[in-house]
Amino acid sequence: MRIACLGGGPAGLYFAISMKLRDRCNDIDLYERNRPDDTFGWGVVFSDRTVENLMQNDAVSGAVIAHEFTHWDDIEVHIHGETVRSSGHGFIGIGRKRLLAILQERARELGVRLHFEHEASPRLEDWADYDLVIAADGANSRIRSAYAEHFGIDVQTRRNKFFWFGTSKVFEAFTFAFEETEAGWVWAHAYRFDAGLSTFIVEMAPDTWARLGLDRMDQPQAIALCERIFAKYLDGQPLMSNAGHLPGPQAWLNFRRIICGRWSYKNLILLGDAAHTAHFSIGSGTKLALEDAIKLAEVLNRPGLSREQALEEYREERNLEVLKLQNSARNSTEWFETLDRYLHFEPIQFAYSLLTRSQRVSHENLRLRDKDWLEGVERWFQSKARGTPVNDPAPPMFAPYELRGMRLANRVVVSPMAMYSAREGTPNDFHLVHYGTRAQGGAGLLYTEMTCVSAEGRISPGCAGMYAPEHVEAWRRIVDFVHGNSNAKFCLQLGHSGPKGSTKVGWEGYDVPLDEGNWPVMAASDVPWSAQNQVPRPMTRADMDRVREEFVAAVRMGLEAGFDMVELHAAHGYLLSSFITPLMNRRTDEYGGSLENRLRFPLEIFQAMREAWPADKPMSVRISATDWMGDDGITPEDAVEIARAFGEAGADLIDVSAGQTWADCRPVYGRMFQTPFADRIRNEARVSAMAVGNIYEADHVNSILAAGRADLVALARPHLVDPMWTLRAAAASNCREVHVPPQYRSGMAQLARNLKREAEAALKA
């Protein structure tokens, strides 16, 4: 094949090399607009896995690159005058200019023709003599832009400003340095990439950048300012720029996240940053580009594979890897963009939060990297939770937590889950076994399912209630068992189904109306949950008064039944949620319009409940932190205000869920997918928050807690299949900070021994 590679960065060069390795007959020209030794970055960071891929693809260039790598193992975080250092991270770096020289030499050796200082045409017709045209000309690809309508390009410009400097100060650890100026916080990402040079990226929020006057400074002035800010880290060494052709303000960049829906058009193929980008804070852009090049060369040279099939496989496989890294990169980017949330953390927790920001590094992963350091984090967390120094480390999930006069033995929560098994609202033996078993499983806090405050407030005929004397007696039986046979505290979640009521039990059809025997439903407005559900009656003031009194009566019954805590369900499109979300609330009175107005009735309900509930007992509120409908519905910004309003009204905990408020919502699922909302609420509204949503491993729980992203962690489905989830996690970590019923202690001891043997065998393997 005759191939034109447009762009002489790592992507284009390594693709040309990879094609020549597979078939020397491939006729390849590479065109680069700059000179051979021009580059606009400093160092490149790789992982061990990337090096393995390079060695397998081309042992010759791979060996040269590997020989010249600089290795370092530590990360240092400088914040509030303290330095936190952890080890075991295993970084590998090389100068970008040196990497390009190695690849250029190898490409020439294999017969690739390199054309420098050649401005490649962005018109495909000018490349008609070539079978393939490879767009490897970076994030600002001219040829991709010329055919943008064919690639489904999505570009998101991130908010922070950064400048990619170099320095002759050699950093022996990957260094994050955070400095507070009169204009705001400024920080640096610094790492060594050869014997005498380091990368030094300076980053800050755009308002800090403007207040510092960097929008009016030329490059020498900007460099001098950054040298003053970071003088104690640079040891007198200067900062260097290789963006000398740009005016001062233009040398400061905003990262552009690029996603392309399609990676090819006719004979034009996108490669590397032209197809996708990943934020520099996770250091994977060059890795992705090189691995793209390997895969594209492999499929184009595989016998029996048509070009169409090859390009489909190339895009499908590589796009999956890109999306994984972009997801991690988004988490990392947002951490730096919302730095103010974490600046009140103590340095050790701040460092932990930074290290785990992308969710690619977890609690147990840190244990493998630096066991001593992680155990120091655990001792700090336990000491903070207990108010006294702790010598023996224990995972954060086994630290106590206090809400008013209630002390939880640990941070694990059995999330509320609808069982649809009550009769006329009355819980029965199923509920006794269900809740009793899970309480004995070791969790610190147990929630009831949404327990309805009236018959018409039920979701389905099988929903539990708290509106009749027999309900109190049935619940008291269950509460007494929980208190008598475990250390778990028990929370009564109260709610009203509103527009989502009068439907079948879950396994007969989710949110599907009853075939017969329907009861009328009401909501903030006459907006049905979906086209198949009833149109609700808009609530009158009389309706509001009646419902408020039903909630108050249910609270008093909950107290009589012996519950430790009460939660108001104001999420998921039920009655109170229908007031909060603008998608369902179309009212024109004082209960509609602004968020303040839409919160008026839910807050009225909560305040009445709070007055009826003892002052020493805690209350929580479940909210949907987003409607998953963009700016048309509740946004995460709104959720902070909602949480703050309930906190000011006396809520001790915000149970942070999301969605289920609109039938056409567009949720973004994934591991721990709702935790960022809890993080934001906890650290911006400064109220206690509980995370929930696709959290299923002890590692997830410990990572969330130690990073300060939530105070409690609720798990639903994991507790359905394993009521003893918490005890199993305690056995796996050899933690004794959990109550085990005496009847089960021998089994717990045996489980701990078995898990220890399995872990030791895995380490040996």
With both helix axes pointing from N to C terminus, report the angle between 285-300 and 48-57 in degrees, rounded to the nearest 10.
30
Segments of 416-506 assigned E as strands: 445-447, 451-452, 489-495
- Alpha carbon distance 691, 671 (integer Å): 12
Query: Which DSSP category does 392 fall into?
Result: S
Active site residue 147: no
- Residues 6+ away with beta carbon under 8 Å from 95: 42, 43, 44, 193, 194, 197
Segments of 571-703 assigned E as strands: 619-624, 653-657, 689-692
Alpha helices in 79-129 (DSSP H): 96-109
- Residues 6+ away with beta carbon under 8 Å from 456: 501, 519, 520, 521
User: CB-based burial of residue 88 (10 Å sphere; 0-12 exposed, 13-18 middle, 19+ buried)?
Assistant: middle
Q: Give me the residues paired with residue 376 across strands.
A: none
599-605 LR contacts (CB < 8 Å, sep 24+): 599/642, 599/645, 601/524, 601/544, 601/576, 602/568, 602/570, 602/576, 603/645, 603/646, 603/649, 604/544, 604/548, 605/547, 605/548, 605/551, 605/568, 605/576
CA angle 465, 469, 470 (to 5 degrees): 70
Q: What are phi and psi of 649, to 5 degrees?
A: -85, -5
- Alpha carbon distance 555, 561 (integer Å): 10
What would the two tokens of residue 740 be?
A: 């085990």
Query: Which DSSP category does 237 fall into?
Result: P
Question: How many C-beta atoms surround the C-beta of residue 370 within 10 A?
Answer: 20
On whether the CB atoms of residues 89 and 369 are closer than 8 A, the answer is yes
Q: Does an H or E element contain 412, and which?
A: strand 412-414
Under DSSP, is residue 625 helix (H, G, I), strand (E, B) or coil?
coil
Catalytic-role residue among 14, 130, 574, 591: 574
What would the two tokens of residue 500 be?
A: 């989502």
Q: Give me the residues paired with residue 257 across strands.
A: 156
Interior/surface letters 750-765, b for 16+ CB within 10 angstroms, e for the rest: ebbeeeeeeeeeeeee
- Alpha carbon distance 82, 84 (integer Å): 7
CA atoms within 13 A on the CB side of 94: 22
CA angle 340, 341, 344 (to 5 degrees): 85
Nearest to 567 by CA among 680, 456, 489: 489
What would the two tokens of residue 119 be?
A: 């401005």
Question: How many C-beta atoms surround the C-beta of residue 64 within 10 A?
Answer: 18
Do the strands 91-95 and 43-46 form a parallel or antiparallel pair, or are they unpaired?
Answer: antiparallel
Give the amino acid at 130: Y
Query: Which DSSP category does 456 fall into?
Result: T
On whether the CB atoms of residues 451 and 479 are closer than 8 A, the answer is no
- Alpha carbon distance 654, 448 (integer Å): 16
Query: Which DSSP category does 487 fall into?
Result: S
Question: How many C-beta atoms surround the C-beta of residue 171 within 10 A?
Answer: 21
Q: Does an H or E element contain 568, and which?
A: strand 565-570
Q: Could you tell me how many helices (H) and strands (E) the chain has, helices first?
A: 26, 30
Catalytic residues: 574
